[in-house]
Structure 1
Amino acid sequence: MAALKADLLITGARLATMAGAADLGVVEDGVLAVSGGRIAWAGSRTGAPAIDAADRLDCAGRWVTPGLVDCHTHLVFAGNRADEFARRLAGESYADIARSGGGIAATVRATREADDAALASASLGRLDALLAEGVTTIEIKSGYGLDEETELRQLRVARHLATQRRVSVAATYLGAHAVPPGGDRASYLDLVCDRMIPRIAIEGLADAVDVFQEGIAFNGDECARVFNAAHAAGLRVKSHADQLSDGQGAALAAKHGALSADHLEYTNANGAAAMAQAGTVAVLLPGAFLMLNETRKPPIAAFRAAGTRMAVATDLNPGSSPIASPRVCGTLACVLFGMTVDEVLRGFTIEAAHALGRANRIGSLEAGKDADLAVWSVETLSELVAQIGLSPLFARFHQGVRA
């Protein structure tokens, strides 16, 4: 039998394939072959075929995981809201700050004033911090323009970032993030549903449409209208749901076949079951939970009981989660939410891939998938979430290219 031709052969690796139904899919003394930017073979050395590779990497016992997937960020924005941290420490709530002109509205003002070059420059710095922690795919939401021009610019900058770094970008239109300052609610929803979503779909600027269903944002009927407009335009949907109150947001997202519902601190057991049945991923965002000093935890036990997929993400944004570290957020998910190490590692790989509708291409080490890899200088995978401040990433590969 002829040898398998490969561009790269990785040997001496301990693989966490994430290919199993619920575990890490560990393969000791693993081998992984890359050809044409995709995984050609992954498994134990003893079962490997003959492989003829142009390049080789001996991992010397290091761990190899899929490249991390950060499936919920607001990376493209201008300005900062560090002052709000002090205001929250003094007793103001997130909702109080938003109602006084802070929060999302403050970032909208700064983002509208920034030109494309300034937006891209600021965003690249944040992106680089994520890449340094092994991220190979990132979702980037708009939602800090709340007008036609700035929302389109945010999405174009998000697409542009994928040309500046070795990373895959999933862009999401979050026009239904808030009512524009001084804007008319009904007219703005008309703009989002009747003009923006069709235009974004035609121009290929977004892969999905998101909403913020909450008392300070949009109600269920309004979100359902956005979902219907997205489906009519051929776009998948996502939802910020049940973050500050139980608005039945998880159940509504599931009803509309959402890829994910995110935050979910107030989701009830019925919502968890609806998500499991619909295949809607629960994206947990412990950074926002920490920074907002919340006390109501997402219903992890209900998600487990229902069989709801659970992903974890940074929610990187200027106000409620200014955290550019998946590993820190993984630590927080374990300590604050009671997730296991395995749940967090799957949550930043295969489950996050499901949350983006990309699990057929990324998130696990399986033949045919993109060769997005993270190589770690750790003895055990628990170190990735048990230690803070260290930099254990040895190498990062995006579609087979070391980056």
Structure 2
Amino acid sequence: MTKQCDLVLEHVRIASMQKNGTPYGELTQSSVAIKNGEVLAIFDPSQENYQGNESFDGENKWLLPGFIDCHTHLVYGGNRANEFEQRLQGKTYTEIAQQGGGIQGTVNATRESSEQTLLSSAIKRAARLVEEGVTSIEVKSGYGLNMQTEIKMLKVARQIAEHLPVNIVPTYLGAHTVPKEYRSNPDDYVQFVCDQVIPAVAKQQLASCVDVFCESIGFSPMQCRKIFTAAKMHNLNVKAHVEQLSDLKGAKLAAEFAALSVDHIEYLDPKDIPALKRSDTVAVLLPGAFYYLNETQKPPVAELRANNVPIAIATDLNPGSSPIASILTIMNMASVLFSLTPEEVLYGVTVHAAKALNLPNKGQINIGKDADLCLWDIEHPAELVYGINQHRPVAKWFAGRQC
């Protein structure tokens, strides 16, 4: 009996990223049927027959889920290339900040930029990720630090999906740094975030998550607790930048609130890892910032493995500490700098990244999952992690449509 569908992908080697006991979730079947933007069947054509309105011959190339970049800050005004040059000429970060640079410089440029200007530059950055097989991107605000600009950033983030074949997940990061207007009283800013911005973001459905930067140069655990409490009151998930520069027990705090993810975590105390396991929280590693800031403290990968905490990988694309618009480069960095295996890295940009964004229908090739797929002309999936700038998908499908 012939079954109908929209598209059949034939003669493909499938790295499904299912956790089925085989490396990369490799399947023995060689065809995928797609209908209404989802995977309808994964089948052996000698055993089953699906008739598609279209068919595509994969010529025995590797089919993988589209990649998911689960941590970016890609909407912002201006850039900080001049500061990069100044630091290499001997200026300190403090000196640069005193002359209006650093995060405050990006805040100033973002506030001054029109929505269209922000959108145009964000599309260019997102396009670089999409070219490398990314089909979902999380985009944080956090360079506005006032009601008007934060909302503008979140609206711009959503608009990216109107211009590129990509799913966008906006996150409100009001607690990125204390704005200059509140420098003398950061608690008042935290109250503003909790009482005014979070309710507005929730009411307008501009974001599904609230993020914080829990660090000595960011916000204290007590301040982050207030923000998490406000987020949960408005039915928003929480995420957290934690333990990047020191151990303030931010990860343990985030676990109390069942955070989707804790990100950076170079200084995470291994004793706090079981709390992440109990809260089903994803550990997101950001090797781009580690590399760019020339850090030396590595995240506790072995302990995360031992506790079966899912590990995701992301670009952290931002103007200051990780101006890297290449998921493939970041994947290689994760292996070289943090000793993750290629298989761990690929799970980190598919299944685990989907979990970090609460996207249960993405990150795998499986029946009922979204048909966000990429075809790669490689001999083995490890090649995508092993090489730098050697590969691009030879074909891509977003929600079942070739793009």
Q: Shorter-chain TM-score: what band?
A: over 0.9
Check whether the contact 2:328–2:389 (CA below 8 A) recurs between aligned residues.
no
Q: Tell me, yes or no, if the aligned pair for 1:378 and 1:392 is still in contact at 8 Å.
A: no
What SS does the corresponding residue of 1:20 show, helix, strand or coil?
Answer: coil
The residue identity in structure 2 corresponding to 1:59 is G
User: How does the TM-score come out when normalised to structure 1?
Assistant: 0.96
Instruction: Give the direction of change, closer, same or farther, for the CA distance of 1:292–1:246 in structure 2 (3 Å limit).
Output: same
CA 1:7–1:147 in structure 2 vs 1: closer, same or farther (change >3 Å)?
Answer: same
Q: In structure 1, list runs of 5 or more residues that go unmatched.
A: none
| Shift in CA distance, 388/186, structure 1 to aligned 2, threshold 3 Å | same
CA deviations on 1:304-350 (whole Å, 9 max, x unpaired) are: 01111000000000110000001100000000000000000000000
Partner of 1:243: 244
Matches within 5 A, 1:4-403: 4-20=3-19, 23-28=23-28, 30-47=30-47, 49-89=48-88, 101-183=100-182, 184-358=185-359, 360-403=360-403
Letter in 2 for 1:239: A
Structure 1 residues 388 and 233: alpha-carbon distance in aligned structure 2, compared to 1, 3 A threshold: same
Q: Is the 8 A contact 2:371 2:399 kept in 1?
A: yes
| Deviation (angstroms), 1:82 | 1.5
Alpha-carbon offset, residue 89 of structure 1 = 3.9
Does structure 2 retain, via aligned residues, the 8 Å contact 1:251–1:270?
Answer: no
Q: What is the TM-score of this pair, normalised by structure 2?
A: 0.96
Structure 1 distance, partners of 2:252, 2:20, is 24
In structure 2, what is the Cα distance between the partners aligned to 1:71 and 1:94?
Answer: 28
Shift of 1:161: 1.0
Please say if residues 94 and 292 of structure 1, whose CA atoms lie closer than 8 Å, have aligned partners that are also in contact: no
Distance in 2 separating the partners of 1:120 and 1:240: 25
Deviation larger for 29-38 or 334-343: 29-38
Counterparts of 1:374 and 1:29, CA distance in 2: 17
Once residues 163 and 270 of structure 1 are traced to their aligned partners in structure 2, the CA distance between those partners, rounded to angstroms, is 44
1:91 positional shift? 6.3
Post-superposition Cα deviations, 1:8-37, rounded to whole Å, max 9, x if no partner, equal 000110111111167411024521110001
Give, as a single letter, the amino acid of the residue that structure 1 aligns with 2:140. Answer: K
Q: Match of 2:60, SS? A: coil
What letter is aligned with 1:206? A
Gaps of at least 5 residues in structure 2 are none
- Residue 86 of structure 1, CA deviation: 3.2
1:236-278 Cα offsets, whole Å, 9 max, x none, are: 0000000011111111111110000000000011222211111
83-92 vs 148-157, which moves further: 83-92
In structure 2, C-alpha distance between the alignment counterparts of 1:98 and 1:295, rounded to whole Å: 24
Q: Name the SS of the counterpart of 1:366 in structure 2.
A: coil
Whether the 8 Å contact between 1:33 and 1:39 is mirrored in structure 2 is yes
Amino acid at match of 1:38: E
- In 2, the alpha carbon distance for the partners of 1:398 and 1:159 equals 17
Aligned partner letter, 2:189 = Y
| 8 A Cα contact 2:174 2:211, kept in partner | yes
RMSD: 1.6
Aligned length: 400
Task: Report if aligned partners of 2:13, 2:30 keep a CA contact under 8 Å in 1.
Answer: yes
Return the offset for 1:66: 0.5
**Of 82-91 and 323-332, the range deviating more from structure 2:** 82-91
